[in-house]
Amino acid sequence: MHILFIVDPLATFKIHKDSTFAMMREAQKRGHTLSACEPKDLMWQRGAPVTAYVRDLTLTGQADPWFTSPQQPPHERPQPLKDFDAVIMRKDPPFDAEYFYATHLLEQAEREGARIFNKPRALRDHPEKLAILEFPDFIGPTLVTRDAEDIKRFHAEHQDIILKPLDGMGGTGIFRVKADGLNLGAITETLNQDGTQTVMVQKFLPAISEGDKRVLVIGGQPVPYSLARIPQGGEVRGNLAVGGKGVAQPLSARDRFIAESLGPILFARGLLLVGLDVIGDSLTEINVTSPTCFQEIFDQTGFDVAAMFIDALEAALKAALKAAPASAA
């Protein structure tokens, strides 16, 4: 099959740890054809299908260059998205206005017959911080508000809290305020922009010392290992992007229960790949845009997450093709 990956610039890939690269490598290993573009390369015009200006890729198996392509910018090749067997949306957050617009172009491509993973509507319907609100039984004390007084009351009740912006990624913009309330006002003003932006506030979970666990769910089924991202050097954040140490470990009974409870629901909505973040026993985020940690889990455990993903992609495409005649009828 021919797979289009919609990604950040290829020059920015760190292939030793990039999960999209792991997907590409496994797909090419199976004989599938690869192409790539960026969201800015999507285009629609009345009377024509949604088209991407793509580069056709062959992975070299080397670190540099890690791919070859007959197309060099700005001479990418135009191809309608409906002509690919699968389109994989892997643009990293933030989920800003341009990402939002891209999902609408992708949804138009779906109406034209394209098969897109994760489903564009599902990407819009599951903002990564707010998607947990649907599953209150799995989360710790959480507040979503613009109001500084609400945040003060939440702090007075829980004493030790975490504040974070709704559009952050990689641990950016996360603050901890302890019982003394030091700098709570200044932090609130910074995050809520004097009441114009919404903030998420959560009770601090001491289990972060054992790691912020990334639990991957593929095709509705959990990967049997999580990657616990453990804060280092006095940091409160375990994100790998800010120096957290990644330790792969088998899922706990609670991890598996959360994943098996949410996985089928999210998969039925068109989310082939989901990254659940779990601290201790509490779900803290549901990541749907470009969940990572494939290579870290494989390197430490030998479990091939990319192979599980391509298995699920192939199965989803087979199911879609089988259902197509009935849908057309």
Q: Is 90 a catalytic residue?
A: no
Spatial separation of the C-alpha atoms in residues 119 and 98, rounded to whole Å: 17
- Using CB atoms within 10 A of its CB, is residue 260 exposed (0-12), middle (13-18) or buried (19+)? middle
CB atoms within 10 A of CB 252: 15
Beta bridge partners of 142: 202
Q: Which of 18, 26, 38, 277 is catalytic?
A: 277
Active site residue 55: no
Q: Are 131 and 265 in contact (CB under 8 A)?
A: no
Active site residue 183: no
Question: 137 catalytic, yes or no?
Answer: no
Active-site annotation holder among 90, 115, 213, 229: 229
Q: Which two tokens stand for residue 271?
A: 């989310």
CA-based angle 159:212:129, to the nearest 5? 75
Catalytic residue among 55, 164, 203, 213: 164
> Does residue 129 carry a catalytic annotation?
yes
Specify whether the backbone of 254 is left (phi greater than 0), alpha (psi in -120 to 50) or beta. alpha
The number of angstroms, rounded, from the C-alpha of 191 to the middle of its chain's C-alpha atoms is: 22
Of the listed 25, 119, 214, 239, which one is catalytic? 214
What are the helix and strand counts (H, E) for the chain? Answer: 8, 18
252's tokens: 């706990």
* CA 226 – CA 212 distance, rounded (Å): 10
Is 245 catalytic? The answer is no
Give the angle 140-215-14 at the CA atoms, nearest 5°. 120
Tokens of 161: 């809290």
Catalytic residue among 237, 239, 255, 296: 237
167 tagged catalytic: no
Q: Is 118 a catalytic residue?
A: no
- In 3D, which of 224, 222, 228, 226 has the Cα closest to residue 208? 228
Question: Out of 129, 192, 203, 239, which one is annotated catalytic?
Answer: 129
Report the catalytic residues: 129, 164, 214, 229, 237, 277, 285, 287
